C-alpha cells in the first residue's frame, strides 16, 4: 500500500512501532505459550477431515487470552454471534512465522504444574488496515486421535464383499 491509499498519518515506521508495542504488551500482561506451525508440504487430512500434520519445533511466544469474548467483539471480528458457541480467542503477534488455521498453541495450566493444554487455531481475523495482532479462535485438540484409515484396493480381487441372504 502506498501513502495515498490510507492517509497521511499512517507510515511504515508507525506500524512497526505499533507491532513492537503489542509484543511489549504481551511480555507485560500476556501469557507465554508454546506455538507450533505446520511444516510446509507435510499436511494430510484424516478420514474425518481433520488436519493431520507434522509440526515445527515449539517456540515461545506471548499472547493475550480472551476466554469469554463479548458479543460486540465477535461482531467486530465478523464472526457469527448468534450460534452461542463458547469460543476462546487469543491475540498473537502479526508477524508470527507460519501462522495459519491448523497451527497449535500449547497453553500452560494456571492451577498447578501439569502439562499444558493443546489448542488448534480454527479461524483467524484482523480488523485494522495495518494490524499489530491477529485474533485467532482456538479449539481444544484432543489427544485420543483415531488411527489412520486403511484403504484397501479390491480391484484386483475376486473377494465378494456382500453377503448372500442364504447365510442368514
Would 13 be classed as within a structural domain?
Answer: yes
In the chain, how many domains are there? 1
* CA 38 from centre of chain: 10
Distance CA 97, CA 40 (A): 12
Distance CA 54, CA 48 (A): 17
- Provide the pLDDT for residue 49: 55
Q: What is the mean pLDDT, run by run of 10 residues, along the chain of 168 residues?
A: 64 84 92 89 60 78 81 68 68 91 87 83 82 88 61 60 58
Q: Do residues 92 and 35 make contact, with C-beta atoms less than 8 angstroms apart?
A: yes
Would 152 be classed as within a structural domain?
Answer: no
* CA 68 from centre of chain: 17
In three-state secondary structure terms, 130 is coil
- Provide the pLDDT for residue 63: 93
Would 149 be classed as within a structural domain?
Answer: no
**Domain containing residue 136: CATH number:** 2.40.10.270
- Provide the pLDDT for residue 142: 77
Cβ neighbours of residue 91 under 8 Å, at least 6 residues apart? 22, 63, 64, 66, 133, 134, 135, 136
Q: Is pTM beyond 0.75 here?
A: no
Query: What is the share, in percent, of the chain residues with pLDDT greater than 90?
Result: 18
- Provide the pLDDT for residue 45: 60
Would 156 be classed as within a structural domain?
Answer: no
Would 164 be classed as within a structural domain?
Answer: no
Bridge partner list, 43: 53
- Provide the pLDDT for residue 50: 56
- Provide the pLDDT for residue 41: 72
Classify residue 132 as left (phi > 0), alpha (psi -120 to 50) or beta. alpha
Distance CA 31, CA 106 (A): 11
Would 118 be classed as within a structural domain?
Answer: yes
Q: Do residues 16 and 23 make contact, with C-beta atoms less than 8 angstroms apart?
A: no
Which residue from 147, 138, 17, 161 is spatially nearest to 79, judged by alpha carbons? Answer: 138
- Provide the pLDDT for residue 147: 56
Would 160 be classed as within a structural domain?
Answer: no
Distance CA 24, CA 27 (A): 5
* Domain of residue 97, residue span: 3-144
Would 57 be classed as within a structural domain?
Answer: yes
Classify residue 78 as left (phi > 0), alpha (psi -120 to 50) or beta. left
Amino acid at each position: 500500500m502506498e501513502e495515498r491509499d490510507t492517509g497521511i498519518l499512517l507510515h511504515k515506521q508507525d506500524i512497526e512501532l505499533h507491532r513492537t508495542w503489542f509484543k511489549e504488551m504481551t511480555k507485560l500482561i500476556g501469557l507465554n505459550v508454546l506455538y507450533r506451525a505446520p511444516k510446509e508440504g507435510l499436511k494430510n487430512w484424516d478420514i474425518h477431515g481433520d488436519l493431520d500434520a507434522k509440526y515445527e519445533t515449539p517456540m515461545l511466544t506471548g499472547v493475550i487470552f480472551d476466554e469469554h469474548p463479548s458479543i460486540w467483539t465477535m461482531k467486530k471480528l465478523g464472526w457469527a454471534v448468534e450460534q452461542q458457541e463458547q469460543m476462546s480467542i487469543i491475540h498473537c503477534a502479526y508477524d508470527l512465522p507460519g501462522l495459519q488455521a491448523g497451527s497449535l498453541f500449547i497453553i500452560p495450566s494456571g492451577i498447578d504444574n501439569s502439562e499444558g493444554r493443546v489448542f488448534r487455531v480454527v479461524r483467524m481475523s484482523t480488523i485494522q488496515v495495518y494490524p499489530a495482532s491477529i485474533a485467532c479462535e482456538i479449539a481444544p485438540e484432543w489427544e485420543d486421535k483415531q488411527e489412520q484409515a486403511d484403504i484397501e484396493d479390491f480391484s484386483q480381487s475376486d473377494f465378494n464383499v456382500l453377503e448372500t441372504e442364504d447365510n442368514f
